Amino acid sequence: MESDDTLRLWGGRFGGGPAPELDRINRSLPLDWRLWPYELAVDRAWIEELTEAGLLDAAARDRILAGLDRVERRLESGVPAEEPDEDIHTLVERWLADEVGDEASQVRIGRSRNDVVATDTRLWTLDACRRIDGSIRELQSAMISTAEAGMDMAFPAYTHLQRAQPTSAAHWMLSHFWPLDRGRGRLSDARARVARLPLGAAAGTGSTVEVDPDRLARKLGFDRPCENSLDAVGSRDWVSEVLFAWTQLANDLSRLAEDLVVYASAEFGLIRLDDAYSTGSSLMPQKRNPDGAELARARGATLLGLLAGYLASLKGLPTGYSKDLQEDKRTLFAAEEALAETLAVLAGTIGTLSFDAERAAGALTPDMLAADVAERLAAEGVPFRLAHEAVGRLVRHAEETGQVLQDFTGPDAAAVDPHLSAIRPEWWDARAALDRRSVGCGSAPDAVRRQLEEARSRL
Ligand code: ARG
């Protein structure tokens, strides 16, 4: 303990404390205080191992564990980010020393902040992935209810953001469900590589205390211990992997957000965002702005930037622990917050939006059935190339003469091109076109109902 009442875990070989500007960049407590629940779990498990290994007797163990309980209550009562300590490891040991005196430092035997911080951070990451998974599921549930509302509603589908073919509102909504389902899968795949225990690697070469890594792993909720101590303290590919899974999710959400922004505009008018998920303008009283969706769209870039910066920070690091790795927490915490806020605002936005069935039906212009008509002609024996060209001519003709395409059936159609003579009035019906798309992943109501069932079963 130093006279200014701060504790340093490495004071002995130095003439004085670090320069203020070094202390400022080096201190990680303002960030890593969030790790305290994991720090305590690791301390408790380590104390048990030290006792098993004969380095602590039962009485010392009980005193330290009771001290840790009191430290926990202190930590629970407020954010300790403003404490003077270098990091969460130092803070917990200092507060433990307040409770049990010098014995507190026994917890440091045979381990290093290098293996402890990797362990704490992996534990935090496992919990964060569980939280994100829960938020994804909430958004997916909102999508399912909104899809139910748009079940039989014909809706325009776009390619190149140009009107293309008819689909249903439900099918559009569910098209955003499946990327999230894959995102959950990616996170659960990554979990297997996060759930390895680094504790026991000490500073990098392995602990000198005879701990049982399998028992420690089990106790702390890991699948198994890391295989190599240098790798255990010096590798963060598992952080990259989780960040990528989160970034891909944010990227997928930015596409959903873009649809919301565009479809809610007066020009499209396919959806209406609830008042609670719209914002106003300080000048234009009439405005209803989709700020939540726009910010969700921007967060795709926020996460991409965090991922890219993080990957770059790992490149070329030498074997073992380097302080560069401390920055993993800044990135992870910022990324989780950015993604969690995005998921939450989109769940609310999706759960409360309404479709404008009339505008959607109005957007289904007959030219969107041109491909269907060509395919039906092909089924009647007109080679598809000729059918495609003939229908193209018909569309141009109708456009030039200001006529509507539905007026062209039988002889009227044949007058434009003889290959078109088989066209019947019902070929220009958008609902009938929907029903024809009954292939497994298609837009037909029956197929979408099956899809919705499948989606429900994933939750
Ligand atoms: N605060 C560091 C981190 O977050 C852990 C401490 C390692 N420091 C050290 N001098 N070995 O990565």
The count of other CB atoms within 10 Å of the CB of residue 262 is: 16
**Region 184-203: what's the mean pLDDT?**
98
**Please, where are the H alpha helices in 34-150?**
36-52, 58-76, 88-100, 113-149
**Alpha-carbon distance values, 48 to 54, 61, 111, 234, 386 (Å):** 10, 7, 14, 26, 81
Rounded Cα distance between 146 and 404, Å, is: 33
| Per-residue confidence (pLDDT) for residue 381, from 0 to 100 | 97
Amino acid at 312: A
Are 70 and 104 contacting, i.e. CB atoms less than 8 angstroms apart? no
Contact in structure between 294 and 279 (CB atoms under 8 Å): no
Active site residues: 160, 281
Choosing from 33, 114, 327 the residue with most ligand 1 atoms within 8 A of its CB, the one to mutate for a pocket test is 114
Q: What is the mean pLDDT of residues 173-187?
A: 98
For residue range 426-451, list pLDDT tens digits in order: 999 999 999 999 999 999 999 999 99
Q: Which amino acid is at 345?
A: V
Ligand 1 pocket test target in 8, 123, 124, 323 with most atoms within 8 Å of CB: 323
Q: What is the pLDDT of residues 12-43, one digit of tens each?
A: 888 888 899 999 999 999 999 999 999 999 99
Q: Which candidate, 59, 38, 175, 182, places its Cα nearest to that of 115?
A: 38
H/E run at residue 333: helix 328-352
Q: For ligand 1, what atom is nearest to the CA of residue 325?
A: 12
* Integer Cα distance of 93 and 96 in angstroms: 5
Report whether pLDDT(412) > 50: yes
Average pLDDT over residues 69-85: 95
Residue 143 to residue 346: CA distance in whole angstroms: 10
pLDDT at residue 1 tops 50: no
Q: Give residues (CB < 6 A) around ligand 1.
A: 28, 32, 87, 113-114, 117, 321, 325-326
CA of 24 to the centre of ligand 1 (A): 14
Q: Which residue from 39, 87, 205 has its CB within 8 A of the most atoms of ligand 1, so it is best to mutate?
A: 87
Find out whether 166 and 156 touch, Cβ atoms under 8 Å. Answer: yes
pLDDT surpassing 60 at residue 2: no
Tens-digit pLDDT profile for residues 252-262 = 999 999 999 99
Task: Walk me through the domains of the chain, giving residue ranges and CATH numbers.
Answer: 11-109 (1.10.275.10), 114-362 (1.20.200.10), 366-458 (1.10.40.30)
Handedness of CA 159, 163, 167, 172 (dihedral sign): positive
CA distance 242 to 225: 19
Q: Could you give the CA distance from residue 400 to residue 234 in angstroms, rounded to a whole number? A: 69
Tokens read off for 47: 């104390």
CB within 8 Å of 458: residues ≥ 6 apart: 140, 181
The alpha carbon of 20 and the centre of ligand 1 are apart by a number of angstroms equal to: 18
- pLDDT at residue 8 above 90? no
Whole-model pTM: value is 0.95
Count of alpha carbons within 13 Å of 76, Cβ hemisphere only? 7
Beta carbons within 10 angstroms of residue 274's beta carbon? 12
H helix or E strand, kind and range, residue 197 = strand 196-197
pLDDT of residue 3: 39
| Secondary structure class of 305 (helix, strand, coil) | helix
- Supply the pLDDT for residue 369: 97
Question: Among 376, 378, 374, 399, which Cα is nearest to 388's?
Answer: 374
- Rounded to whole angstroms, the Cα distance separating 404 from 397 reads 10
SS3 of 224, please?
strand
pLDDT at 5: 57
Three-class DSSP category at 148: helix
Residue 41: which residues within 8 A CB-CB, separation 6 or more? 123, 220
- For residues 76-100, give the mean pLDDT: 96
CA–centroid distance, residue 56 to ligand 1 (Å): 26
Q: Which residue intervals of 150-273 are DSSP H helices?
A: 169-175, 177-194, 213-220, 229-234, 237-263
Q: Which residue bears the tokens 């026994």?
A: 106
Q: What is the mean pLDDT of residues 63-77?
A: 98
Two tokens, residue 204? 């990098």
Contact 416, 408 (CB under 8 A): yes
State in Å: Cα 33 to ligand 1 middle: 13
